[in-house]
Structure 1
Amino acid sequence: LGVITLSLSEQASCKMPVEVERKFVCDSDIQGKLKKIGAVCIGQCQFKDQYFDLEDFTLTLRDFWLRKREGHWELKCPASSLTEPEQRAEAMCTNYREVMDLAHIKAEIMGIIENCPGAVEDILDSSQMNQLNSDSKEEMWLKELKLQCFAEYTTTRCSYVLDDGEEGRVRVDLDQADFGYCVGEIEVLVSEGGNMQSAMQRIEMTAEKLGLAGEKIQGKMHVFLQRYRPDHYAQLVCAHVL
């Protein structure tokens, strides 16, 4: 395959952040609860997300999520295998390795897709890519990899941070999607290979301070697919991705 390959030393040095998060239901008093435990609001924003996959859902059925958010690309990949204590904690949390460099994103996707067309080599040829504007480059690699948008929605987000001592900060996002779903997220970022159990414990401590119920909550994508892409959703459930 004509793909960008990383040497073992390059791969070892590319430590991608792992996003560990727990979702929760936003009740009417959640902002008051956040302020009461010392969380500080860091602002509000609005953004549009677009998610891409092949027609047969090659990526998402393997729990890889390719997203474009306000012009920036990100690939959420399954994190490395967890220890038994981490697996127990994961019953409430999710964790994904985040790839945000476009060249690395393309390399990851090319490694997943089988029988890639030969034209893919042209996409990763820098001499040809440099002759195209950014919109043309994007259109080309999406087309050649046969990637198409399967979900698109806009989110209004209000964000808080909470200092939890020597460990650093925990982030809490309150999201309102334009299709009528509201959900909160408690998030901690750790480096790949970092202490996942500690991150999950910090999230659970924050959840306890907020008085959250001990149940796993559906995310925006989960609900979007349920409502608008039921066939795709059914396949993901069968594959134990959702």
Structure 2
Amino acid sequence: MESTMSVEVERKFVCDADIQKQLEEIGVCIGQKQFQDKYFDTPDFLLTLRDVWLRCRQGCWELKCTTVTKAEDRVGEPQKAELCSRYQEITNLSQIQLKVREFMKEEFTTQRCSFTFGGEGDESGVRVDLDQADFGYCVGEIEVLVPKGEDIQSALRKIEKTAQRLGLSGDQRVQGKMDVYLQRYCPEHYAKLLSASIL
């Protein structure tokens, strides 16, 4: 039996030359690593068209499933909520195998530098990752893990405060690595995801 799962709440942002320097001044670097993601789907995209993402990262399987509907995004603070994504990550292999039968592989390598902040309050539990993908796309993520059933609004507030502290003023949702990869290298798949309102 798998232990209680968390919901990953995160907001992506565009990396520029000043962000890492700023993070080094106000945060504590908790690690830098490189990893390779391999993404899988059925030939007719049954997983990703449902906003379900199956990947293998350094030999560990993860299935990311969206946790909200478009209607739920309009509750509370809709503008802030829309900038963030919420996924449940399933890492139990037997649970993943129950949901997935045939795969189609996509692959790229990411160099990640991670930061966290000391102290309590608005910055506790906030993590910032800067990801550089080998196909030339760099994206940052501000992330807060929330135990399932807990208040998502507090995570959204922490993410917003961290974004303000980093000087991120954009109110447009930023594409993730996989979005950009599909747009560049799998345009037919990308078009289907857009048509299904997944991306």
Q: Same fold (TM over 0.5)?
A: yes
Between 209-218 and 86-95, report the one with greater CA deviation: 86-95
Report percent identity of matched pairs. 54
SS in 2 for 1:216: coil
Distance of 1:88 and 1:79 partners within structure 2: 18
Q: Which residue in 1 is equivalent to 2:181?
A: 224
Q: Which runs of 4+ in 1 moved over 3 A?
A: 80-83
Classify 1:42/1:235 alpha carbon distance in 2 versus 1 (closer, same or farther; 3 Å).
Answer: same
Q: Which residue in 2 is equivalent to 1:60?
A: 48
Alignment of 1:21-170 (within 5 A): 21-36=10-25, 38-81=26-69, 82=72, 84-85=75-76, 87-107=78-98, 109=99, 145-149=101-105, 151-163=106-118, 165-166=120-121, 168-170=124-126
| Matching residue's letter, 1:41 | C
- C-alpha offsets along residues 34-80 of structure 1, whole Å, 9 cap, x if unaligned? 133x2101121000000101001001000000010010000000114
Distance of 1:164 and 1:224 partners within structure 2: 36
| Matching residue's letter, 2:47 | L
| Matching residue's letter, 2:113 | C
| Matching residue's letter, 1:43 | G
Q: Higher strand share goes to which structure?
A: 2
Structure 2 residue ranges without an equivalent (≥5): none
Alignment of 1:2-21 (within 5 A): 14-21=3-10
Q: Does 1:200 align with 2:143?
A: no
Q: Post-superposition shift, 1:147? A: 1.4
* CA RMSD across the alignment: 1.7
SS in 2 for 1:90: helix
Q: Post-superposition shift, 1:193? A: 1.5
Structure 1 residue ranges without an equivalent (≥5): 1-9, 111-144
Q: How many residues align?
A: 194
Contact 1:164 1:170 in 2 (8 A): no
Distance of 1:159 and 1:49 partners within structure 2: 17
- C-alpha offsets along residues 176-229 of structure 1, whole Å, 9 cap, x if unaligned? 100000111101111112211111110010000000022211110010000000
Distance of 2:36 and 2:127 partners within structure 1: 20
| Matching residue's letter, 2:42 | L
Distance of 1:224 and 1:89 partners within structure 2: 25
Q: Does 1:241 align with 2:174?
A: no
Q: Post-superposition shift, 1:17? A: 1.3
Which is higher, the Rg of structure 1 or of structure 2? Answer: 1
Distance of 2:65 and 2:119 partners within structure 1: 27
